[in-house]
Amino acid sequence: MDSVDIAMALTFVVIASTVVLYAVERYAIETIALGSVSAFIVIFSVFPVERPDGSLITTGDFLSGFSNPALITVICLLIIGQGLFQTDALEAPAKAIVKMTRGRSLRAAIPVLLTVAALSAFLNNTPVVVMFLPILTAVAATVGQSPARVLMPLSFLAILGGMTTLIGSSTNLLVANFAAQSSDLKLTFFSFTPIGLIIAGVGSIYVLFIMPKLLPVRKTMAEEFQSSSGKQFIAQIEITYGHPLVGVESVSGMFPQLKDMTVRLVQRGQKPILPPFENVVLSPGDTVIVAATRAALANALARRQPLMEADSDTSNSGREAQAPAGTISLAEVVVAPASRLMGRTLPQSGFYTDTGCLVMGIQRRSRMPRMAMNDIRLEAGDVLLVAGSEEAIARLRGNRDVLLLDWSMAEVPRKRYAPRALVIFALVVALAASGLVPIVTTAVAGTFAMIVSGCLNIRQAMRAIDSRIFMLVGASLAAAVALEGTGGANAIATGLVHLLAGASPTVMLSALFFIVMILTNFLSNNAAAVLFTPIAINLANQIGASPEAFVVCLIIAANSSFATPIGYQTNLIVMGPGHYKFNDFVRAGTPLALILWLTFSLVAPWYYGL
């Protein structure tokens, strides 16, 4: 065996081992990906392989995937999505969708997902997924559903929609152009739309009604901590001149603008007004004492016209001090035993002066006192909801008077920047969909715009980058270099031709679909399409059949990138926000790929008269 054959054999071993290790999930994806890249570098250093032009495959070729434009695009789109999340820019559209569907999560998701599939037939599906990902995430959050149940279906339906028209994906155009150059076949815009709709329709039934049941609800530790907390805090809202609640009148004993809070008391000067509130009109100088969950208080703080101020001058409001301007985070702390805060009220404690954090609410497990928050004397075990900068909250770890609950820290959405974020997002999607500017260009520019406009800071942008995606893409592109450089991909294609010699057209078509379907989940779909287009045409010519059936088979199979996150760009985009693991795609995507294969194997011979 020469060095090329040895390198090819070892390449197959590394790829197979990598896929198995990804699937068993015993080791971190980043570790496995780095190990596979290292293995390729060592193999090709020991057994040098030349390209057809005579140049050697070098270490730089295996590392070039980490600067691939597709990878940069995915990372930048994740950062842009983080900008929409940080500003809560899509809260209004999400609530409108939920209202139209009467709050039922399945009803809310299905129309959006079907819209995605329809748009993907005429637009590049990557910007379509980017556009709808934050909307679906917001819809899921509004109805209390895990995003994991809707984001993988989002990617899969975009791929299914893209296989129904000639411009549905770049793969379709690539195969059609290659076929036109090497044969007399001229595919038109809707040439394969009828059979594409049949295949996509069958796949959509699985994606919408069966696949969500296979997807685990997986959250980060912080999300689990926050979502499990339905406890109520005592808080107070100071009504000042120009406050959004000035002039609000009670209706049926309640205040409609505070529907997600329980108003326990309105303090007007020295006079307390107790519920039920009849004909009470809020005016400047009033203090509204409420019981509310952390989510309700965060929403009151994050509104474009906040009901509660964490960064306003408190000299007129009775607050102890003012919180720092800029990005505000919320966290929960527990008053420690023997704390100096015990027996003191908040104004007496000097908590803000000592810590730089402002107390927004107090929660007491034993009872909920009906008095102003600033009049409550603190006890050991009281939970304080505090607001401040991330640095100020981090310093609470060294404070002996309170115990910081680390996983409770979360940033308050900066809703005042929501219009900017929406404009940036709309421009990125519009330019990418128009084709006038490469999507990587719009993604990089959009990322810069999100940061420079204040929608995100550098730390928030860096947090949006998923190391799993970075390593997965880099390692998969290194594997593609090894396969193509050693001739491994060509060897698979040649073996298929010999294997199918003398078989019936139906068997040939089914086998071609199956092989391409497998390869497209590990190579890029464009690479698989380019490799097999001449093979598909040759197979058709050998049996005297029209090449259209084989070329369409190749188009649909190359688009069947469901079984791995590295199979298609949109899978990588939803992997981070959905908290998916590699095995989630194997579990949910493999049945879909097999369903499409079986459906095509049954429908295509009838449709093309083979």
Q: The tokens of 260 are what?
A: 């997600």
- Name the least confident of 97-101, 180-184, 239-243, 572-576: 97-101
Q: What is residue 128's three-state secondary structure?
A: helix
- Name the least confident of 214-228, 231-245, 392-406, 485-499: 214-228
Confirm if 183 and 214 have CB atoms less than 8 A apart.
no
pLDDT for 478 equals 84
Q: Could you tell me the sign of the dihedral formed by the alpha carbons of 74, 105, 331, 359, in that order?
A: positive
pLDDT for 227 equals 47
pLDDT for 225 equals 47
Identity at 128, one-letter amino acid code = V
pLDDT for 309 equals 67
* Per-chain mean pLDDT for the chain: 82
Q: How far apart are CA 453 and CA 337, in angstroms?
A: 45
> Mean per-residue pLDDT for 291-307?
78
> Mean per-residue pLDDT for 255-283?
87
pLDDT for 536 equals 81
> Mean per-residue pLDDT for 503-522?
87
pTM of the full structure: 0.66
Q: Which residue has the higher pLDDT, 21 or 3?
A: 21
pLDDT for 447 equals 92
Q: How far apart are CA 235 and CA 371, in angstroms?
A: 10
- Helix crossing, 547-558 with 582-608: angle to 10°? 160
Q: How far apart are CA 158 and CA 151, in angstroms?
A: 11
> Mean per-residue pLDDT for 89-98?
68
Confirm if 336 and 251 have CB atoms less than 8 A apart.
no
Q: Which residue has the higher pLDDT, 1 or 24?
A: 24
pLDDT for 102 equals 58
Identity at 29, one-letter amino acid code = I
Q: The tokens of 508 are what?
A: 């040939």
Is residue 97's pLDDT more than 70? no
Chain centroid to CA 427: 20
Neighbours of 468 (CB within 10 A): 18
pLDDT for 485 equals 82
DSSP 136-172: HHHHHHHTT--THHHHHHHHHHHHHHHTSSTTSSHHH
Is residue 222's pLDDT more than 70? no
pLDDT for 91 equals 67
pLDDT for 94 equals 63
What are the pLDDT digits (tens) for 193-205? Answer: 999 999 999 999 9
Identity at 182, one-letter amino acid code = S
Is residue 230's pLDDT more than 70? no
Q: Which residue has the higher pLDDT, 132 or 402?
A: 402
Highest mean pLDDT among 8-22, 171-185, 581-595: 581-595
The sheet with strand 232-238 has its strands ordered as 271-273, 262-268, 287-293, 232-238, 358-363, 383-388, 329-335, 402-411
pLDDT for 199 equals 95
Q: How far apart are CA 68 and CA 475, in angstroms?
A: 11
Q: Which percentage of the chain shows pLDDT scores above 90?
A: 19
Confidence of residue 105 (pLDDT cuts 50, 70, 90): low
Q: Which percentage of the chain shows pLDDT scores above 70?
A: 87
Highest mean pLDDT among 14-28, 371-385, 494-508: 371-385
Is residue 235's pLDDT more than 80? yes
- Name the least confident of 140-149, 154-163, 277-286: 140-149
Is residue 318's pLDDT more than 60? no
Confidence of residue 530 (pLDDT cuts 50, 70, 90): low
> Mean per-residue pLDDT for 438-451?
88
**Pairs from 261-266 (Cβ < 8 Å, separation ≥ 24):** 261/290, 261/291, 261/292, 261/296, 261/300, 262/232, 262/290, 262/291, 262/292, 263/288, 263/289, 263/290, 264/234, 264/289, 264/290, 264/291, 264/368, 264/370, 265/289, 265/370, 265/371, 265/372
pLDDT for 174 equals 74
Q: The tokens of 56 are what?
A: 């050697």
Is residue 558's pLDDT more than 80? yes
Confidence of residue 364 (pLDDT cuts 50, 70, 90): confident
Confidence of residue 272 (pLDDT cuts 50, 70, 90): confident
Is residue 1's pLDDT more than 60? no
Contact residues for 478 (Cβ-Cβ < 8 A; gap 6+): 36, 37, 40, 62, 63, 65
Is residue 322's pLDDT more than 90? no
pLDDT for 560 equals 93
pLDDT for 433 equals 67
Confidence of residue 517 (pLDDT cuts 50, 70, 90): very high
Is residue 28's pLDDT more than 50? yes
Highest mean pLDDT among 219-228, 255-264, 552-561: 552-561
Identity at 342, one-letter amino acid code = M
| Domain ranges, ordered by start, for the chain | 3-51, 225-414
pLDDT for 228 equals 46
> Mean per-residue pLDDT for 578-587?
88
The CATH number corresponding to 225-414 among 3.30.980.10, 3.30.70.1450, 3.30.390.10, 3.50.40.10 equals 3.30.70.1450
> Mean per-residue pLDDT for 386-403?
89
Q: What is residue 89's three-state secondary structure?
A: coil
